[in-house]
Each structure stands twice: as C-alpha cells, then as structure tokens.
C-alpha cells in the first residue's frame, strides 16, 4: 500500500466510524453542547457536512482548471451552519452521510484524473496541492468526531492517519503568527511547527501531540509548559 492508499483507507474508516457513532444519537442529544464553545452537536454535524461540500468545490475547480472557493463568504458559511443546526437528528445524519459520499466520489475522481498537483486555495488562504484535500478532510472528520463528545478519542485513529494529520496540522499551525516555532517529537519521528529555532521540544505520542497542537485531549505531552497554541 502506498501512503496515499493508507490515507484513503484511513479516511474511509474514520468516516464510517463517525457515521456509525451518530446512529444512536437522539434528537435531544443532537441539540446538546459539543465540546466546541457555542456549538451544539447539530452545529458541528452541519459544519462537518458543509466542509465536505466546500472541499468538493475545490476538487471540482481543480478538475476543471478554474479557481474555486470553499464558501461564497464566511457569512454564508456561518449562516448555513446556524440554519442547519435547527434540523432533526435524522436530517443531520442523512446530511452527514450524503455529503461524505459526495466528497468520497469527488476525491476518487481527482485521484483518477491525475490532477492531484493542481493548486487549490483553502478557506484560510493557504495554497496547497489538491491531493492534500484528503488529509484536510480526514482532519475535519477525526478532530470533530472527538468534538462531538460521544466518547471518541484521538487515540483511536490509526498510525498512518495520525502521522498525516500531524503533518497537516503542523503546516496549518506553523502559518499562524501567534504560534511559536516548536519541535514535536514522538517515538520514531519528529516534525517542526513554524520556521526558525524551536522555542521548545514537545514530546508525546502522535495522538497526544495532535491533541496538544489542535487544542484537544489526546494524552499527556511534556516540554510544552507555558506554550498555548492558538485556536486550530
Ligand atoms: O485549512 C484551511 O485553511 C481552512 C479550513 C477550513 O476552513 C475548515 C472549516 O472550518 C470549514 O470548512 O468550515
């Protein structure tokens, strides 16, 4: 298996895991708080679904060779999330399922097209090869599965997924001016976040480091005293 095959297998597995975990969630539980401030689980589910559609727009742009945006504007994105959060549990589940299917189909088309190197622009402004949209999506699925507060932990993600997510999150966080440069180190690997001399060496398991970097719980890290990464 290539690294790209590993990633697609991890994405398929994590997506199924997320969808499976939502089956028994009641309407009442959907409208309870998630672990993201101000968002219920229903906001989060809507966000996960609209993110899939936003990434599909980027893939379609990459396939057509035309510039595309994930969302028409931040206001439209936020309004869709607020409106979607009022729906029933059944509607939320169907949306999560259908949007994940649309992403999977579009990403398969991209992989078959040979356009993986076409440059797309993320909502935050980063220009990345379209092939990285798979790991961008994996991040949304894994991190927000944890945020749904349904008992899922980052420690459940497999090794290749955690490695790919650490690389993606390190690049994304390294672009933030508020993030001090650090070196992440785990058994068998290390990764720089940001440029320049690291201000600290932060050590832990890949899940713990991913959790620390993105403001979630993945286990204990050492060496991070006094450093609080900005919001992911
Ligand atoms: O990687 C980025 O620059 C941006 C990612 C996102 O915007 C993910 C979302 O928060 C979203 O799709 O709404």
Residues with CB under 6 A from ligand 1: 47, 51, 54, 70, 77, 122-124, 126, 136, 172
This model of the complex carries an ipTM of 0.96
Where along the chain do the CATH 1.20.120.450 domains lie?
3-152
Question: What does 140-184 look like in DSSP terms, one character per residue?
Answer: HHHHHHHHTTSS--GGGS-HHHHHHHHHHHHHHHHT-TTS--EEE
Atom number, ligand 1, closest to the C-alpha of residue 124: 3
The overall pTM is greater than 0.90: yes
In the chain, % of residues over pLDDT 70: 100
What is 3-152's CATH topology?
A: 1.20.120
Minimal-distance CA residue to ligand 1 atom 11 = 51
Atom number, ligand 1, closest to the C-alpha of residue 126: 3
Best residue among 39, 51, 73, 125 to mutate for probing ligand 1's pocket (most ligand atoms within 8 Å of CB) is: 51
pLDDT confidence bin for 5, thresholds 50/70/90: confident
pLDDT tens per residue across span 30-45:
999 999 999 999 999 9
pLDDT tens per residue across span 73-112:
999 999 999 999 999 999 999 999 999 999 999 999 999 9
What is the pLDDT at residue 210?
Answer: 98
């Amino acid at each position: 298996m290539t690294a790209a095959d590993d990633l697609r297998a991890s994405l398929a597995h994590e997506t199924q895991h997320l969808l499976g975990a939502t089956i028994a969630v009641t309407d009442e539980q959907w409208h309870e708080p998630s672990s993201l401030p101000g968002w219920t689980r229903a906001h989060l589910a809507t966000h996960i679904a609209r993110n899939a559609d936003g990434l599909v727009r980027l893939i379609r742009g990459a396939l057509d060779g035309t510039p595309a945006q994930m969302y028409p504007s931040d206001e439209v994105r936020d309004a869709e999330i607020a409106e979607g959060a009022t729906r029933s549990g059944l509607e939320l589940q169907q949306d999560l399922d259908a949007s994940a299917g649309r992403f999977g189909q579009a990403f398969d088309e991209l992989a078959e097209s040979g356009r993986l190197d076409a440059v797309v622009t993320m909502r935050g402004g980063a220009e990345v090869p379209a092939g990285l949209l798979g790991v961008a999506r994996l991040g949304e699925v894994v991190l927000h599965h944890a945020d749904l507060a349904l008992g899922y932990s980052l420690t459940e993600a497999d090794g290749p997924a955690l490695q790919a997510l650490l690389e993606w999150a390190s690049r994304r966080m390294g672009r933030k001016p508020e993030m001090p440069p650090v070196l992440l180190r785990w058994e068998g690997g290390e990764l720089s976040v940001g440029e320049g001399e690291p201000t600290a060496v932060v050590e832990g398991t890949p899940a713990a480091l991913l959790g620390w970097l993105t403001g979630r719980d993945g286990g204990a890290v050492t060496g991070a005293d006094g450093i609080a990464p900005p919001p992911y």
